[in-house]
Every structure is written in C-alpha cells, then in structure tokens.
Amino acid sequence: MTKIEKVLFLCSGNTCRSVFAEYYAKWLKSTNYKDELRDVNFDSAGTRHYYETPHEGTVKYLASKGISVDGFVAKDITNELINEQDLILGFEARYHTRKLKRRFKHIENLDKKVYLLLEYAGETENLEIEDPFYLEENEYNQILKRIEDGIIKSIEKIIKINKSE
C-alpha cells in the first residue's frame, strides 16, 4: 500500500459520525501523534447535505474531551474530494461504502481506498456503526466511543503503513 496522507470520513449527512471522526482524528494528530501524523490530513463529508452544523450530541461529546468544532463546514462528497483522498472510511456499508462505489463507479481504483472504519481498523465482527442522530445521549455517546476506538486503531495502522513506505 502507498503512503496515506489524506483521509476522509464519510457518513450520511456530515453531521454526527464523520464530523466526530474528523475532529477526533485531528485532535489525536495535534496531541498524541504529532510526529507520526505530521503529513496526514483528515477531512469529512456526507453522501447528502442535510444540515449546516454538527449535531449537538457530537459537539457536546467532543467538548467533554476539550475538542472544539469551530470552523466546521458541512459538505457533500464530490468527484474532486474523492480523487484527492488516499483513504475513505465510512460507517455503514449500505449507505456509505456501497453507495459511494455505485454512485462514483467511474472513478478508477475507488474500491482500493474505501472501507468501513471498523473493517479498516482490523475488526472482523459488528462492523456497522449506526447513525446516532435520534438516539438518547447515553446511546449516542456509545456510538461515538465505538468510532473513537476505531479511529485509534486506524491511525495506528496508517502510521505503520507510512513508516514502511
């Protein structure tokens, strides 16, 4: 695998999961992995544009860790955004990874850079991470914790790949 410098997190509305993943990964880059992730950039997008701002549950969970989402701008996935990425990580096969591969089937080698987050992180079971949008706070936070764990494992994999290049 080639060096990974651009990672995109993809969910349905770029409101809950992908926003959390982007800002949590950026925070890890600025704290725990400054040297290892120096040349890696994180971004997020949605398969559809629903809202302009992140879900309050995501904002609250990130704030509890001292992470701000200031400057966040929701965006839809585009040809250009896909072509810029080395790795695209989604949360549900039906709504993210398979949908992306069908909608953008004209993009060469797309299937080689699109994965479910937990699949890429090395998990083998329960790979789907449901949309927490309508869940109660406790359930919402459990979803974000699963994403958090998947991001840490994915970052460790990215670091390993980048060191071998």
- When computed from its CA atoms, the radius of gyration of the chain, rounded to whole angstroms, is 15
Quote the pTM value: 0.96
Average pLDDT over residues 24-45: 97
The number of domains in the chain is 1
Q: What is the CATH number of the domain that holds 28?
A: 3.40.50.2300
Q: Model confidence at 3, in pLDDT bands (50, 70, 90)?
A: very high
Which range of residues forms the domain containing residue 96? 6-160
User: What φ, ψ does residue 2 adopt, rounded to 5°?
Assistant: -80, 165
- In total, the chain counts a number of residues equal to 165
Please answer whether residues 67 and 85 qualify as being in contact, where contact means their C-beta atoms are separated by less than 8 angstroms.
Answer: no
pLDDT in tens, 77-120: 999 999 999 999 999 999 999 999 999 999 999 999 999 999 99
6-32 per-residue burial string, b: 16 or more CB within 10 A, e: under 16:
bbbbbbbbbbbbbbbbbbbbbbbbeee
**Does a structural domain hold residue 107?**
yes
The pLDDT, as a whole number, for residue 1 is 61
The pLDDT, as a whole number, for residue 17 is 98
**Does a structural domain hold residue 155?**
yes
**Does a structural domain hold residue 76?**
yes
Count CB-CB contacts under 10 A for residue 46.
Answer: 23
**Does a structural domain hold residue 1?**
no
**Does a structural domain hold residue 165?**
no
Average pLDDT over residues 20-26: 98
